[in-house]
Structure 1
């Protein structure tokens, strides 16, 4: 299990039904992704300097069990799909309660964007090599890099 975030659910993350609100799940997944990228050497600062950032095309959440106020959670991340050049990717996150019960699964599909030109780009080769060292799921699929015509 590759844990990239651990923390407590706080009051502002609770909805009217007294459990964690829907957008808090996405927030925790996003922080876990940032932590995962940082750990492999793709720091937010380095990406900012290169004027490259991650962009999501789709984020899908599967709610399995409730998470309550003051609960401590753990968030795992692993790559489930990536192009060979790391230009497009899919990351699966799983949120676990402190009792070990899986509470949610979040699947995010994304790519990299040039933050100035506002166009999709590939990472520089040395950074894409770092991305490809991230934990992979048992069902990982590598797609061929898109050919430039």
Structure 2
């Protein structure tokens, strides 16, 4: 769980969180969590591999305002056993744990030199994904 610090630039003309800010906050949180589980930027550079998204979808439930106390919970929802495909879920929750938005991203790993999907996934990435927090209804694909 990460408490969010919202900026004036995150707001839209209606004075609530701009739709694209949700995606930016979720992306930053994903990278920080990957780093916590050993999938660091330096490791990805050394392995010539990086995350690639196929789909990113948000369901907006409640507005978030500048002074809102909101946190984000990021968990792995689904994954192929070899780590080559995954779905990560981000929940934006209030202090009272009311759901404001939910983002789901579907992705894989790309070989940054060949510009093709990375197969097989490096062991360090698979290990990190195995340790990544998982939803209660997590499933292998």
TM-score by length of 2: 0.93
Aligned ranges 1:98-137 → 2 under 5 Å? 98-121=95-118, 122-137=120-135
TM-score by length of 1: 0.88
Q: How many residues are treated as equivalent by the alignment? A: 140
CA contact (8 A) 1:82 1:89 kept: yes
**Which portions of structure 1, spanning 4 or more consecutive aligned residues, are displaced by more than 4 angstroms?**
none
- The corresponding residue for 2:7 is 10
CA contact (8 A) 1:9 1:72 kept: no
- The corresponding residue for 1:82 is 79
What 5-or-longer segments of structure 2 have no aligned partner? none
What 5-or-longer segments of structure 1 have no aligned partner? 144-149
| Cα RMSD (Å) | 1.3
The separation in 1 between residues aligned to 2:124 and 2:43, in whole angstroms, is 12
Structure 1 residue 42 corresponds to structure 2 residue 34: no
